[in-house]
């Protein structure tokens, strides 16, 4: 049956009048048929086709790159990774040793974990507090704008700049308790404490951003429902708003942890990139006051660009770092797992 020849001459004439002849497309399906026949489907324009193809291509390319990174690191890493190396302290390199086989990377692994935990612990309360202030108080307006700009500036600062700034600040005498003071009174300015503080500056903007977004996505009537029960702002924030934005806080924290674990500049400048060398005698503090290294600085030092030039160890350590970050993200995601948006309707 032809798709056009129903309805008689009058309807056809009316249709011709209603439909401008110069635009035969889109040919709409007729009401009484309901189902589109294949030839009635209007083909996409060339631009749309190219756009769709480009979108597909970009998505697949990113997938391929991510897969390539993981697979390549998996192959190279597993090739050189030995279980005992995970639990061995590194050996201070010297020209006489065969650097390729000696020592493990226990210290860098510990260092990464300590530094990430420390940086996150510092960043979390500051970041969440800033976000709550910005989202729930934010007065006076000029101060809120200033805080926002401040967070953005910190977010935009290269970590090497943060590192050199940290070195400048924390070698001042007043901060001697954070690292150790040499005999002449000079403050060393390199320790887990100091690196952790500067690392937290990387994570804070991410936590602020994610928390703030989560807080702002909570409808106003939820806050009002709490006020209407005779609750004040503080209890509302604590009992309703923060639990509701848990997911956002976790997202920001995950991003921050990944960035901290992945940063090299601050480690090299502010952590010393040495094996873990505690200072002083107070049990836990002595580690935090001392220097150490992370997997990133270990990879850097052992890569062909670094002084060690032991690429096998660099590959293996890089693989461990990758796994570590993936596991960390997974754990935080698991901890915060709730229905994604409680108010999504």
Contact between 338 and another protein (CB under 8 A)? Answer: yes
Selected binder of another protein within 15, 37, 49, 337 (CB under 8 A): 15
Determine the 3-state secondary structure of 291 from DSSP. strand
Contact between 251 and another protein (CB under 8 A)? Answer: no
Selected binder of another protein within 4, 11, 48, 67 (CB under 8 A): 11
Paired strand residues for 292:
272
Nearer to another protein, 49 or 338 (CB): 338
Contact between 286 and another protein (CB under 8 A)? Answer: no
The site that binds another protein (CB under 8 A) totals a number of residues, namely: 33
Show contacts with another protein in window 129-188 (CB under 8 A).
none
Dig out the tokens for 174 from the structure: 């007043």
> How many CB atoms lie under 10 A from the CB of residue 159?
21
Show contacts with another protein in window 197-216 (CB under 8 A).
none
Contact between 6 and another protein (CB under 8 A)? Answer: yes
Show contacts with another protein in window 229-248 (CB under 8 A).
229-232, 235, 239-240, 243-244
Options 2-10, 174-182, 276-284, 311-319: segment touching another protein (CB under 8 A): 2-10
Query: What angle do helix axes 192-216 and 141-156 make, rounded to 10 degrees?
Result: 130
Specify whether the CB–CB gap between 260 and 116 falls below 8 A. Answer: yes
To another protein, the closest distance from the beta carbon of 32 in angstroms equals 5
Selected binder of another protein within 99, 116, 226, 297 (CB under 8 A): 226
Contact between 337 and another protein (CB under 8 A)? Answer: no
Q: Which residues of 29-62 are buried (b: 16+ CB within 10 A; e: fewer)?
A: eeeeeeeeeeeeeeeeeeeeeeeeeeeeeeeeee
To another protein, the closest distance from the beta carbon of 334 in angstroms equals 18
Options 10-18, 125-133, 209-217, 328-336: segment touching another protein (CB under 8 A): 10-18
Selected binder of another protein within 1, 2, 5, 10 (CB under 8 A): 10
Selected binder of another protein within 224, 282, 327, 331 (CB under 8 A): 224
The Cα 297–Cα 102 span in angstroms is 17
Q: How far apart are the first and last CA of the chain?
A: 45
Q: Which of 205, 241, 201 is nearest to 223 (CA)?
A: 241
To another protein, the closest distance from the beta carbon of 18 in angstroms equals 7
Extract long-range pairs of 130-135: CB within 8 Å, 24+ residues apart.
130/204, 130/208, 131/207, 131/208, 131/209, 131/211, 131/212, 131/215, 132/211, 132/215, 132/237, 132/241, 132/242, 134/208, 134/212, 135/211, 135/212, 135/215, 135/216
Site string for another protein, 31-70 (x = CB under 8 A): xx--------------------------------------
To another protein, the closest distance from the beta carbon of 248 in angstroms equals 12
Contact between 227 and another protein (CB under 8 A)? Answer: yes
Specify whether the CB–CB gap between 44 and 52 falls below 8 A. Answer: yes
Summarize as ranges the residues that interact with another protein (CB under 8 A).
6-8, 10-12, 14-15, 18, 30-32, 219, 221-222, 224-232, 235, 239-240, 243-244, 338-339, 342-343
């Amino acid at each position: 049956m032809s798709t056009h020849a129903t309805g008689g001459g009058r309807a056809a004439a009316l249709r011709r009048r209603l439909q401008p002849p110069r635009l035969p497309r889109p040919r709409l399906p007729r009401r009484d048929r309901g189902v589109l026949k294949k030839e009635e489907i209007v083909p996409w324009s060339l631009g749309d086709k190219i756009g769709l193809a480009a979108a597909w291509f970009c998505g697949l390319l990113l997938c391929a790159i991510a897969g390539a990174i993981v697979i390549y690191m998996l192959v190279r890493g597993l090739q050189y990774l030995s279980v005992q190396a995970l639990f061995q302290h590194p050996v201070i390199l010297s020209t006489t040793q065969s650097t390729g086989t000696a020592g493990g990377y226990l210290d860098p692994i510990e260092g990464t974990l300590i530094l990430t935990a420390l940086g996150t612990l510092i960043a979390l309360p500051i970041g969440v507090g800033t976000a709550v202030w910005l989202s729930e108080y934010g007065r006076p307006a000029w101060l809120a704008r200033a805080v926002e700009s401040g967070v953005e500036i910190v977010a935009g600062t290269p970590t090497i700049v943060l590192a050199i700034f940290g070195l400048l600040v924390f070698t001042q005498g007043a901060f001697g308790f954070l690292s150790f003071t040499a005999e002449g009174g000079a403050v060393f300015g390199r320790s887990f404490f100091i690196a952790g503080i500067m690392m937290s500056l990387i994570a804070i903007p991410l936590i602020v951003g994610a928390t703030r977004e989560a807080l702002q996505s909570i409808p106003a009537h939820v806050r009002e429902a709490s006020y209407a029960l005779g609750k004040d702002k503080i209890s509302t924030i604590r009992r309703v708003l923060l639990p509701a934005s848990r997911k956002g806080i976790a997202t920001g924290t995950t991003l921050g942890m990944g960035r901290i674990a992945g940063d090299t500049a601050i480690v090299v400048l502010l952590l010393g990139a040495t094996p873990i060398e505690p200072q002083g005698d107070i049990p836990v503090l002595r580690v935090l006051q001392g220097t150490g290294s992370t997997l990133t600085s270990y990879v850097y030092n052992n890569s062909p660009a670094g002084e060690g030039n032991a690429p096998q160890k660099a590959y293996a350590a890089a693989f461990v770092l990758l796994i570590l970050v993936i596991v960390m993200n997974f754990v935080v995601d698991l901890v915060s797992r709730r229905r994604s948006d409680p108010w999504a309707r």
